[in-house]
A and B are shown apart, each in its own frame.
Chain A
């Protein structure tokens, strides 16, 4: 959208590497987020409206530790450029503001409202310089600088008592239009929780923050509410219910998602569904039929599984049968995320429940 803007911050390298170990994910995450924001099926933002603030590829050995970029001022300046006119007054824009942060982070122990802060690259154990992402999102809302604000903070939320978030000096007068501003926030972990980054096979084995990977996957796979859009509430449900499956064998605390207080926010849904894998523990010797029923007991798909080289087929809800790739042991079906029941008959006879949650997740064992 022409009126949408974004500031993306990815900090992977810190001056104090013993306190803030290097992260591989943030720079990759920003690239991924930027790609989604520009995509017509994603954020559909004008690329010129995106400001990217990133760690350099390497920190020069003699760099003053207090100047290792990005520092808090880098973000402040980008934010100020976006929200003020030439005379220095706040301007209200009709579109959406995306604020995205990836790196090491924390939150205030005493805060009763969800919040998180990203450590700046020049942060040290003793002087934890930071960018208070949540504050800037709230500032943009309270001053009605945009009609919608999406805050994504892919960082840890260690609870801290005496590591204060850096609150910028701003004229605090609010704007009555703030009540109509929609603020949608996603934090990578609950208060006190650790965010994780991992090597993600389906993203070319690159390291990404788990939250960033999950959100972009949800935009692709989650069931839309209506048409091609998904509400913040539906996105929240999808992220929370698929989180454990997405994490695989290594658990991670779930994200915290805060919805707008009034009308919900809408995102584009690619509605790709999930390519769910199925695997026979013992390959069927003879023709086997597998029927998949949804939670209400309605038949979704009927598969005729034949030992290769015979062609297997899938028949979807009254449509003509189509070919199904089956190597005698493994096959996949495109299904909406939900809970189902399969019933096998013919060569094998059994049934069980299964959940379709995320693409690339565990295969259903038949």
Chain B
């Protein structure tokens, strides 16, 4: 910097714009949000503003004789695309704005499905393709909006959006507005014959959730549209507050959502602090903000905690996303421990809205010694997650649940029911009774008590071993040596037995934790060695390729089949299955291990019941099950 440098001030109209200054050698001199100020020597520069998927540029010169040694450069506003019909976006449509304004107004048309909260869902097509359609084409186009359902989390009380909403195909939208009980709901739509994609909607008491879904072109036909759940936008507002398409915080919300989709934080802490200082009551922004802060290299944890607290004050701290974020921040700040992870997993009974929240939730779950505390409904979702960039989403189909029984020849006794999966947690509750049996006469003889505990532990080990053997046939497990654990015995008479048992039980439990991972690896290896998965996959692909229905497999099952095929190829090439590689393949970050075990068990049972010489019959069995 020299005395001749000029103070440069580059300002973007949009407060959510990223601003970048580049010199004539194409070096980036500075970047910031909405405004960048720096001293530069006279020369020619380029300023860029980026918002969402759009960018504007301006070439400008800085002269040696700028008045007062100061140069101001203002950048034009940008139009990006959004499922929310915001002003100054490329997808803004007045009739969609009118529809959402009417539905969110205090006197808006609302169906009564409950009370205490509200929901507004707008499915809209910003393409204007419908403006040229004749009556027949409009009728066909309108079918794109069929098959959407709002239901409770367990699938009960389904309401068709067509039935509770208003379809206006000539303007490319369907809008549904309802008073509803606070809680977690599912918005779903049919993606194929029986398969539905599900999106969780968390509606806090006293709030209205506005859900905006783009109906995007699908396939070659101009008339076909498909709901873009992953690109949906959600806004929390007060019921009856109306809709203002000029709200600047909604633009920021959209920029934040797009940043989350890309996994990058483009909103710096200062801008975030300004946005969250109480200027806007936008709880969804709070959740986005914390996730974005956590994507930073050095997240401002104090600010993030403040945002979680403030957002919790607005919508209630029991919102799954907030519970999970609070736990994550506690971990990062070192203020929470293992017990907090258990409390979190036990207290979350419904899915979070954001995919990243789920990711952190699984982080908490994996850290637990007792894996049995995961809600069964959530466990099932984990097996059916679909790819998404912002919102959590899963597939559901009645066929998922019919495959297991049909494919193994109705061998119901081997079907892995929810309550009988390959998890050590099933056997763990037996630890304490076995120990009690071994300690038939409470005594203060430490050696005797220790021997009794070891005897009990080994009985548990035997039971676990038999439990697995009964179900895995040739699969053998290396159960941990239990004789080596030590139990510190207390010397208080009153608490002696109880405390000793608790400590011994916990120690055995800890030892057996690895059994689940070991079981998964052993079953996987056994499957690789016994079945030609290349052939199985080839057959499954062939069915779809030749016009058959897609296979009723969950996303996790498909993923496991691919892993099995790759491992099989390596097995055929190298003559062995590398244990490290197996464990890596089974390390699926967002899926609990018992869900993986469940599906591996299913494959194992199917394979066991089929002719091993013709492993491709496994594929035929699965396909047959899908057509039954």
Contact = CB atoms under 8 A, between A and B. Distances in A.
Contacts of B273: none
B389 A192 contact: yes
B102 interface: no
Contact of A238 (B26, B60, B578): B26
Given A167-B585, A169-B581, A193-B262, A341 B44 contact: yes
A66 B538 contact: yes
Contacts of B534: 66
Nearest to B43: A295
Contacts of B555: 162
Interface stretch (B122-130, B248-256, B427-435, B545-553): B545-553
B541 A122 contact: yes
A124 B558 CA distance: 11
Interface in A279-298: 294-297
A201 interface: no
B24 A172 contact: no
A61 B565 CA distance: 24
Given A126-B551, A162-B386, A65 B566 contact: no
Contact of A110 (B262, B359, B561): B359
A110 B578 CA distance: 25
B46 interface: yes
Contacts of A355: 46, 59
A66 B541 contact: yes
Given A73-B569, A237-B26, A341-B61, A164 B559 contact: yes
B59 A126 contact: no
Contacts of B618: none
A127 B541 contact: yes
A58 interface: no
B581 A339 contact: no
Interface in B457-500: none
Nearest to B561: A127
Given A126-B553, A169-B581, A237-B26, A160 B387 contact: yes
A339 B261 contact: no
A241 interface: yes
Contacts of A73: 569
A163 B44 contact: no
Given A295-B23, A339-B59, A126 B544 contact: yes
Contacts of B31: none
Contacts of A150: none
A295 B24 contact: yes
B562 A110 contact: no
B310 interface: no
A191 B259 CA distance: 10
Interface string A105-147: 0000110000000000010111111000000000000000000
A237 B556 CA distance: 41
A26 interface: no
B387 A163 contact: yes
B561 A65 contact: no
Interface string B387-398: 111000000000
Interface in A323-366: 337-341, 353-355
A354 B570 CA distance: 57
Interface string A180-204: 0000000000111100000000000
Nearest to A106: B387
> Which residue of A65, A191, A251, A338 has the most chain B CB atoms within 10 A of its CB atom?
A65
A161 B262 contact: no
Given A126-B558, A161-B387, A67 B42 contact: no
Given A73-B569, A129-B562, A192-B262, A66 B44 contact: no
Nearest to A88: B574
A338 B565 CA distance: 52
Contact of B262 (A190, A238, A337, A353): A190
A15 interface: yes
Nearest to B577: A169
B615 to A, nearest CB: 14
> Which residue of B25, B55, B537 has the most chain A CB atoms within 10 A of its CB atom?
B25
Interface in A201-253: 237-238, 240-241, 244, 251, 253
A324 B321 CA distance: 67
B133 interface: no
B558 A127 contact: yes
Given A125-B550, A166-B566, A337-B26, 16 more contacts: A110-B589, A126-B541, A126-B550, A127-B537, A127-B541, A129-B565, A159-B261, A161-B385, A162-B387, A162-B555, A162-B556, A169-B581, A244-B55, A295-B24, A297-B42, A339-B46
Q: Which 4 A-B pairs have the closest CB atoms?
A: A66-B538, A295-B24, A169-B581, A339-B44
13 contacts: A65-B542, A109-B387, A161-B385, A162-B558, A164-B559, A164-B563, A164-B588, A241-B22, A295-B23, A295-B44, A339-B46, A341-B44, A341-B61
